[in-house]
Chain A
Amino acid sequence: MDSLSRRDFLKAGAALGAGLTLAFYLPPARARRLAVATPAGEAFAPNAFIRIAPDGTVTVLVKHLEMGQGVYTGLPALVAEELEVAWEKIRVEAAPADHTLYNNLLWGPVQGTGGSTAMANSFDQLRRAGATARTMLVEAAAEVWKVRPGELRAENGRVIDPKGGRSLAYGELSALAATREPPMEVALKSPKDFKVIGKTFKRTDTRAKSDGSAQFALDMHLPGMLTAVVARPPAFGGKARRFDAKAAEAVPGVKAVFEIESGIAVVATDTWSALKGREALAVDWAPGPGADLSSEAILKSYRALAGKPGTVAARKGDAQAGLRKASRRLKAEFEVPYLAHAPLEPLNCIVQVRPDGCEIWAGDQSQTMDQRNAAAVLGIKPEQVEIHTTFAGGSFGRRANGQSDYIVEGVRIARRFSVPVKLMWTQEDSVRGGYYRPCYLHRLEAGLDARGRPIAWRHRIVGQSIVAGTPFEAGMVRDGVDATSVEGAANLPYAIPSLLVDLHSPKLPVPVLWWRSVGSTHTAFVTEVFLDELAHATKADPYEFRRRLLSGHPRHLAVLDLAAKQAGWGRKLPRGWGRGIAVHESFNSYVAEVAEVRVNPDGSYKVERVVCAVDCGLAVTPDVVRAQMEGGIGFGLSAALFGAITLRDGGPEQSNFHDYRCLRISEMPRIEVHIVPSEAAPTGVGEPGVPPIAPAVANALFAATGRRIRRLPIGETIRL
């Protein structure tokens, strides 16, 4: 993924924010190739994204992973709009792995899903795909009727000749349309003519997800398939000194036990036999380089580092001078822990290695990278790795990994067999398996002038870089700063005349990774709580205080105002209740959240209500936007209240949902989502709902109790 650059990505996003400027340009030869790219059978395949069968069924090929965020709905809606077909006629299929056809346009020649880019990079592409198909169908009808295409229009899956009072269904035209050259230029609808975009377009996967028929990778079963589990070291970087496979091999159903790079693989005819076999395995683990690591020791070393200047990530004015001039200074230190993604469907894949290549079935989030990494293991070409993308039972970033860890592990096991092998991680393996959101320590200092206005802001961040040592490093680390460690902090929107943000990225043998909303998972918490502290110190209302400092940022301001208004900011709350607010931009979407908490006399508390306002540009499928805000708030709240992986003796102390506690239905607040009307190009919604919830809740708890929360998770109770 060498050509991916975070800044290019951000730049592209910024351009998007300014209007519909993302070009979809295809040289003529390539456009023709798109048209004939797939063996179509009887279907009309006008481009890589659309198939129209003789019965009129329209199949939309989606290049992004459906992991809950709604791409099987939002992306087909774009096609439906331009192609003029009803929801009922649309089927959705996963596109094959092929970066020459299905690359993420914001990332370069790479297919993958992440950074809340699916809608932003597909908005033009899929509308054009739909318009191209429609144009060819209209031209085909014109040929049949011997009229000019301009006299015809398309509507509800048919081409209509208003003058002739006749019509033909797309299915009837598909064979003829397939013989036509795709047009080089198509006109797209103007927003005022939208019938689908911004209106109701139901999820296309609800039915399959309500009757047990939706297929996740873990549900796949191939003839002759074996199932593998791997015993991995208890401490990161550990290795087996020796192992005794006898008892494991004696378990009925166990076919083979052998060592691979990441541990000891147990392969059996079925899952339970594999698990029993692993249980019977005796392994003597050598501790490895991280064996004495603990969370306390890590934080202690981070605290020491925080005393020294780091690499500068952002500088505006002279923050040191500003602090010296200030009539009042505030300081605070914040801590956030490691977090596991813990999707409900643990990591898994099926791999079949053949003499001429390799086939993989997975809820695959980064096909191109996984093709490359799998090919490297096998010594073949990436094109020889065929990936079938299934639904994923959640990911939250975990299935997109520069090392392709679980895919590579599956390949290393499967290469020893001629049959397909399913590799399953148990939930324990997933929780204990690393690739966490890193733990971070933040130190902030701000200076206020005599009138209580902030004039200086100094912010130091200490924590592992998630891209160091990965294929993303070249693109995402500039001048020693990992952009993902400081996003949300380095671009603080508040009008403070001087600012200095610097960073330490210590290296540790704990594997780390992005986690839904990446850097903003911690920077939003820290900046929005500290800003609240400044407001409090100056006896200002936290909402008004933010307003005054956001005058140069109309989109921040609009969501802030909308959330405050809908929440009834300023209205009196019952005794023991508190209200908190936070606003944050991530992935070019703007979200403000107001949380209301009820605190009981014993210190237990409940987040009762959250009001959310989001500006994601044009909301293509508004109900999916609402669902992503609701889910993002719940997901973020889960981490804010309970989420923590703690390390001891070099490994995680948690293992499953009993000690890696996740939010339950009784802990879910009432949520109201309000969408800012917009005609700006659409931006992502999968992640941006997450960042504001932790600070909004922390600020609400402060309002209720006077206790500042500078450390996550908050826990079941708050000390009164």
Chain B
Amino acid sequence: MITLTINGAPRSVEVRGDTPLLWVLRDHLGLTGTKYGCGQALCGACMVHVDGSPMLACVTPVGAVAGKAVITIEGAGGRAMEALRAAWAELDVPQCGYCQSGQLMSAAALLARNPRPTDADIDAAMDGNLCRCAAYHRIRAGIHAAAKRLGG
């Protein structure tokens, strides 16, 4: 039995400690906003925040986050995420949408530490988030627009 704090609430799951957090979220807790894209830390679709830092859930054994605070796209809020969602809506960023949870979690982490990122900052922070639809043009514009909304 492993106890975690997910989106602010304590949750217990009966799984082996080596089970990746990704599958615990998706299969055991019904939090399917966190996506499987590669399972090998290659695409960023499974990005969550653990104690405030971005982490790839597909390569994080659930045992390693026991007792830590995990935030998923479903529970993500706060000024940066709200600004990003507003920008995403304004620019209609998503296409198929499958990568977008991960994009938003990465972007929120970026804005939290750097409220006025340059293009180079965006490249550095977002290069691990693949988008096969190549919605990159609007992802970049969306981050800039969110930064503006935040008054950065």
Contacts and interface: CB of A to CB of B under 8 A. Distances in A.
Contacts of B101: 212
A156 B37 CA distance: 42
A561 interface: no
Given A68-B97, A209-B100, A394 B92 contact: no
B113 interface: no
Given A219-B32, A270-B28, A271-B26, A664 B130 contact: yes
Interface size class of A (residues with CB under 8 A): 35 or more
Contacts of A635: 132-134
B135 interface: yes
Nearest to B128: A664
B73 interface: yes
Interface of chain B: mostly helix, strand, loop or mixed: loop
Interface string A648-679: 00000000111000111110101100000000
A218 B36 contact: yes
A214 B101 CA distance: 10
A665 B40 contact: no
B39 interface: yes
A627 B95 contact: yes
Contacts of B33: 211-213
Contacts of A252: 16
Contacts, number: 179
A665 B122 contact: yes
Contacts of B73: 211-212
B43 interface: yes
Contacts of A345: 35, 37, 96, 98
B94 A210 contact: yes
B132 A627 contact: no
B136 A427 contact: no
B70 interface: no
Contact of A67 (B20, B26, B96): B96
A206 B126 contact: no
Given A272-B27, A656-B40, A627 B135 contact: yes
Interface string A38-81: 00000000000000000000000000001111100000000000
B42 interface: yes
Given A218-B35, A272-B20, A627-B95, 18 more contacts: A66-B96, A68-B96, A68-B97, A207-B85, A210-B84, A210-B89, A216-B98, A218-B36, A270-B28, A344-B35, A344-B99, A345-B96, A630-B138, A631-B133, A635-B134, A656-B39, A657-B130, A658-B42
Nearest first, the 8 closest Cβ-Cβ pairs linking A and B are A212-B33, A634-B134, A393-B98, A209-B97, A68-B96, A68-B95, A219-B32, A212-B73
19 contacts: A66-B96, A70-B95, A211-B74, A211-B85, A212-B33, A215-B32, A219-B32, A270-B23, A344-B130, A393-B96, A393-B98, A394-B98, A627-B92, A632-B134, A634-B134, A634-B137, A635-B132, A663-B134, A665-B129
Interface of B: 15-16, 19-20, 23, 26-28, 30-40, 42-43, 45, 72-74, 84-85, 88-89, 92-101, 104, 122-124, 126-127, 129-140
